[in-house]
């Protein structure tokens, strides 16, 4: 018996040495796949055709060639994503442009175009939930020929110097690369662009290098922080480029289109602006800073991440506003477009904070004057700041929104208000957040029940009641 036991033990040792056991000889098979199509929407009711489901985008590498002479773009984009369900089909957003081929994990995939926006991809093999996969899309065409909605949806535009630029909200990225076009799915982003010698390419993040060969200049940029797709950008032009750095070494790149004019002071004062806002909001959250100063009369500037894009008319307070967005809107991105006040109301109020600190403006007097001017204007008070409805997102946030934030400041006091301005970007750094979460943070910081105040100012369509219109020192 003893010998038999020794023999059995020796056999087990041999099996272990060989890397197997009785149990290991029949490894547990993976669970069966139950693949279904990913959703063709991210679920924001204001823009039900935007975004997609079934996966989480992790990274975009956009490789594009662009020839200003004919306006043609040649693209080769790789999207890295993680499946959030078993997938037999999924979609990306791509507006216009002709698709030449799609590969998933190096294997050719079939694809179709739907609704003029969706690139629907069927991989050669289903994708398992939890797996990371790569999608390569090769495409091209004239992006400026793609229809766009107007307003702040600017589409791909040819610039006055013969180059091009891409800036728009809420739709931007899908005009020049395949993307999950929803702020809810932020990802890292990089660009490699090939243009004829003599042209300069500016994008988000940090410069990765530039080289010339065969009459072409290749330039790369990389944004290592997660970025909402509408905050990505590319500008191709005859730029003059200035480079400097913040005290901590963060690179600043300012690019000026020919005859853009008038941007010397704002760009030179950018380190001062960032330092001021960091004193209010906490450490600067982006990998780079600077601006793209266009010679274009578009009616908006935009907080493209780390490097805002400025219209020709932009001045110092515009730079303050777009820089404030690097905390409110870029680092902390909205969860739904109904939450746009999280971006615009606070960034607009940053202009008042600057005026208070730098120009010694009495903000209470400025507030009372504005209320007096607009007091009987039905249109001014009608605009909701939260849950305003699709197409109305930008109607009240720049005017009524500033007054609402100042009234909130006086309602809860400077100590609580300043805590909110710092704790919000810190709590949701490089993530998404909702208006409901903001209200909860303000209530916690102030220790007050503010439901009536928020209903009056942010969800209301009438002039607020006097107790909310003139709180704190505004009673004077």
Residues 245, 394 within the same domain: no
Looking at the structure of the chain, the number of domains it has is 3
Confidence of residue 363 (pLDDT cuts 50, 70, 90): very high
Nearest to 235 by CA among 147, 316, 304, 281: 304
CA distance 110 to 92: 13
Nearest to 57 by CA among 194, 271, 306, 226: 226
CATH (domain of 244): 1.10.390.10
Residues 79, 172 within the same domain: yes
Instruction: Return the higher-pLDDT residue of 26 and 300.
Output: 300
CA distance 57 to 344: 26
CA distance 225 to 177: 19
Confidence of residue 266 (pLDDT cuts 50, 70, 90): confident
Q: Which of 176, 205, 230 is at the close of a domain?
A: 230
**Is the CB of residue 256 less than 8 Å from the CB of residue 293?**
yes
Taking CA atoms, 382 is separated from 386, 395, 474, in Å, by 12, 10, 22
Which pLDDT value is given to residue 268?
Answer: 86
Residues 362, 459 within the same domain: yes
Residues 164, 68 within the same domain: yes
Confidence of residue 24 (pLDDT cuts 50, 70, 90): low
* pLDDT surpassing 80 at residue 84: yes
For residues 415-443, average pLDDT: 98
- Asked whether residue 41 is domain-assigned, the answer is no
Task: Give the model confidence (pLDDT) of 366-416 as tens digits.
Answer: 999 999 999 888 899 999 999 999 999 999 999 999 999 999 999 999 999
Cβ-Cβ contacts under 8 Å for 340 (sequence gap 6 or more) = 334, 388, 393, 394, 397
Which pLDDT value is given to residue 22?
Answer: 45
Which pLDDT value is given to residue 381?
Answer: 96
Residues 274, 414 within the same domain: no
Residues 226, 247 within the same domain: no
- Asked whether residue 447 is domain-assigned, the answer is yes
Q: Which run of H or E residues covers position 223?
A: strand 216-227
Q: Which residues form the domain of 387?
A: 334-475
Q: Are strands 132-141 and 98-104 parallel, antiparallel or unpaired?
A: antiparallel
Query: Which range has the worst mean pLDDT, 151-160, 178-187, 255-264, 433-442?
Result: 255-264
CA torsion angle 189 195 198 202 (round to 10): -20
pTM given for the model: 0.92
* pLDDT surpassing 90 at residue 3: no
Residues 282, 145 within the same domain: no
Q: Provide the β-strand partners of residue 245.
A: 251
- Asked whether residue 128 is domain-assigned, the answer is yes
Residues 457, 388 within the same domain: yes
- Asked whether residue 45 is domain-assigned, the answer is no
Confidence of residue 263 (pLDDT cuts 50, 70, 90): low
Nearest to 198 by CA among 68, 48, 372, 31: 68
Say what percent of the chain tops pLDDT 70: 94
3-state secondary structure of 275: helix
CATH (domain of 185): 2.60.40.1730
CA distance 438 to 452: 15
Q: Are strands 55-67 and 187-196 parallel, antiparallel or unpaired?
A: parallel
Residues 295, 433 within the same domain: no
Residues 271, 290 within the same domain: yes
* pLDDT surpassing 50 at residue 96: yes
Residues 420, 312 within the same domain: no
- Asked whether residue 76 is domain-assigned, the answer is yes
HEC string of 2-70?
Answer: HHHHHHHHHHHHHHHHCCCCCCCCCCCCCCCCCCEECCCCCCCCCCCCCCCCCEEEEEEEEEEEEECCC
Q: Which of 314, 330, 346 is at the close of a domain?
A: 330
- Asked whether residue 198 is domain-assigned, the answer is yes
- Asked whether residue 83 is domain-assigned, the answer is yes
- Asked whether residue 48 is domain-assigned, the answer is no
Q: Which of 188, 207, 230 is at the close of a domain?
A: 230
Residues 201, 91 within the same domain: yes
Task: Give the model confidence (pLDDT) of 227-238 as tens digits.
Answer: 999 999 999 999
For residues 175-201, average pLDDT: 98
Q: Which parts of 389-460 are beta strand (E)? A: 431-433
């Amino acid at each position: 018996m003893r010998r038999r036991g020794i023999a059995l033990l020796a056999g087990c040792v041999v099996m272990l040495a060989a890397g197997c056991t009785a149990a290991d000889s029949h490894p547990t098979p993976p669970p069966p796949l139950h693949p279904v199509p990913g959703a063709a929407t991210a679920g924001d009711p204001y823009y039900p055709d935007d975004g997609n489901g079934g996966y989480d985008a992790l990274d975009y590498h956009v490789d594009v060639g662009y020839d200003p002479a004919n306006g043609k773009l040649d693209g080769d984009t790789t999207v890295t994503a993680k499946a959030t369900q078993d997938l037999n089909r999924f979609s990306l957003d791509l507006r216009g442009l002709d698709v030449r081929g799609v590969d998933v994990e190096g294997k050719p995939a079939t694809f179709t175009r739907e609704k003029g926006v969706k690139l629907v991809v069927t991989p050669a093999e289903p994708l398992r939930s939890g797996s990371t996969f790569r999608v390569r899309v090769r495409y091209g065409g004239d992006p400026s020929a793609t229809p766009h909605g107007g307003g702040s949806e600017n589409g791909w535009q040819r610039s006055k110097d013969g180059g091009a630029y891409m800036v728009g909200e809420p739709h931007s990225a899908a005009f020049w690369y395949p993307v999950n076009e929803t702020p809810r799915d932020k990802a890292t982003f990089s660009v490699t662009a090939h243009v004829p010698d003599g042209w300069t390419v500016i994008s988000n993040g940090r410069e990765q290098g530039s080289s010339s060969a065969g009459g072409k200049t290749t330039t790369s940029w990389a944004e290592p922080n997660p970025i909402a797709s509408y905050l990505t950008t590319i500008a191709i032009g005859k730029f003059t480029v200035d480079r400097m750095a913040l005290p901590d070494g963060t690179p600043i790149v300012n690019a000026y289109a020919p005859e853009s004019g008038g941007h010397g002071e704002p760009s030179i004062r950018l380190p001062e602006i960032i330092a001021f806002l960091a004193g209010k909001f906490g450490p600067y959250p982006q990998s780079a800073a600077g601006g793209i100063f266009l010679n274009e009369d578009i009616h908006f500037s935009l907080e493209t991440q780390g490097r805002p894009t400025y219209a020709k008319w932009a001045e110092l307070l515009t730079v303050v506003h777009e820089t404030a967005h690097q905390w409110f809107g870029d680092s902390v991105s909205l969860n739904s477009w109904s939450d746009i006040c999280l971006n615009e109301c606070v960034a607009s109020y940053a202009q008042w904070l600057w005026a208070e600190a730098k120009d010694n403006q009495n903000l209470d007097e400025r507030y009372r004057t504005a209320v007096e001017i607009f007091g009987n204007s039905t249109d001014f008070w009608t605009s909701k700041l939260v849950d305003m409805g699709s197409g109305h997102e930008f109607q009240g946030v720049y005017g009524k929104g500033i007054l609402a934030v100042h009234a909130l400041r006086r309602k809860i006091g400077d100590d609580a208000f300043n805590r909110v301005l710092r704790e919000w970007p810190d709590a949701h750094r490089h993530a998404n957040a909702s208006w409901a979460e903001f209200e909860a943070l303000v209530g916690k910081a102030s220790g007050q029940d503010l439901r009536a105040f928020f209903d009056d100012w942010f969800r209301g369509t009438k002039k607020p009641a006097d107790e909310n219109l003139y709180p704190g020192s505004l009673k004077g």
